[in-house]
Amino acid sequence: MLDTLAHVFQPLATKQFDLLLVIYLIAITAEAMSGALAAGRRSMDVFGVVVIAFVTALGGGTIRDVVLGHYPIGWTQHPEYVYLVVLAGLFTTLIARHMHHMKRLFLVLDALGLIAFSLIGCNVALQLNYPVVVVIMAGMLTGICGGILRDVLCNQVPIVFRRELYASVSLVVCALFLALRAAGVDTDLNMLVCFVLGFVFRMLALRFGWKLPTFHYQERWD
């Protein structure tokens, strides 16, 4: 088993093994686990669990790459990411009954993941020379579309359209990153600032239940 894991993660050792990658790996694991729980709420079988885990963790980056025409798509060049999220999904079915004790941990990991996804998405679009608004959207797509795909496949209205500030955190992080970058701030420092401020923003939103105003409209005329 340890050998297998070593084999799975070996490819990573040959890359620039920086903090963003570590956070990314932790984040896709956490997203896969939360996706598996969503599948369990729909009483899916193990295959459904694995698909929803995969889609929740890697679907956002997939949508981003398709929209930007950024081929080959990220995870197709990193089989280890696929193994990781599949194993995370399966593992979740074993420890599900204990996971509510880790609610706070998951909210923390989810917040870090949202920021990591957003920054990675911005960087992909920047490399392809897209306009500023597309760069910001690429960051947000990466951070949010996994959850949207999960909810569509689970046949419910995406919760990101209703819950505490989440997409807004991604938007603020992306805009802040681009502003500091335009101001010539060093990339490492820039990312650190984005993580700290984005994380604090998300935690405050959760703590105080900050939400965007809701739009209610009941008339049917089209």
Report d(CA 23, CA 37) in Å as an integer.
21
Question: Among 19-27, 111-119, 192-200, 209-217, which window interacts with a second copy (CB under 8 A)?
Answer: 209-217
Cα–Cα distance measured from residue 45 to residue 154, given in angstroms and rounded to the nearest whole number: 13
Among residues 9, 18, 161, 204, the one that binds a second copy under rule CB under 8 A: 161
Stretch that binds a second copy, among 16-24, 61-69, 113-121, 191-199 (CB under 8 A): 61-69
By CB under 8 A, tell whether 93 contacts a second copy: yes
Burial 65-101 (b: 16+ CB within 10 A, else e): beebebeeebbeeeebbeebbbbbbeebbeeeeeeee
Q: Does 222 bind a second copy (CB under 8 A)?
A: yes
Q: Which is nearer to a second copy, 10 or 156 (CB)?
A: 156
209 part of the interface to a second copy, by CB under 8 A: no
What single DSSP character describes residue 59? Answer: H
Burial class (CB within 10 angstroms; exposed 0-12, middle 13-18, buried 19+) of 50: buried
Residue from 5, 66, 189, 200 touching a second copy (CB under 8 A): that is 66
Shortest distance, CB of residue 114 to a second copy, whole angstroms? Answer: 13
State yes or no: residue 211 binds a second copy (CB under 8 A): yes
Q: Say which residues have a Cβ less than 8 Å from residue 81's Cβ, sequence separation at least 6.
A: 25, 28, 58, 74, 75
Answer yes or no: are the C-beta atoms of 112 and 26 closer than 8 Å. yes
x/- site string to a second copy, residues 100 to 139, per CB under 8 A?
x--x--xx--x-------------------xxxxx--x--
* 57 binding a second copy? (CB under 8 A): no
Neighbours of 22 (CB within 10 A): 12
The CB-of-149 to a second copy minimum distance in angstroms stands at 10
Task: Assess 17 for contact with a second copy (CB under 8 A).
Answer: no
CA distance 112 to 104: 13
Please report, as ranges, the residues that interact with a second copy according to CB under 8 A: 34, 36-37, 39-49, 51-52, 62, 66-69, 71-73, 76-77, 79, 82-83, 93, 96, 100, 103, 106-107, 110, 130-134, 137, 148, 152-158, 160-162, 167-168, 211-222
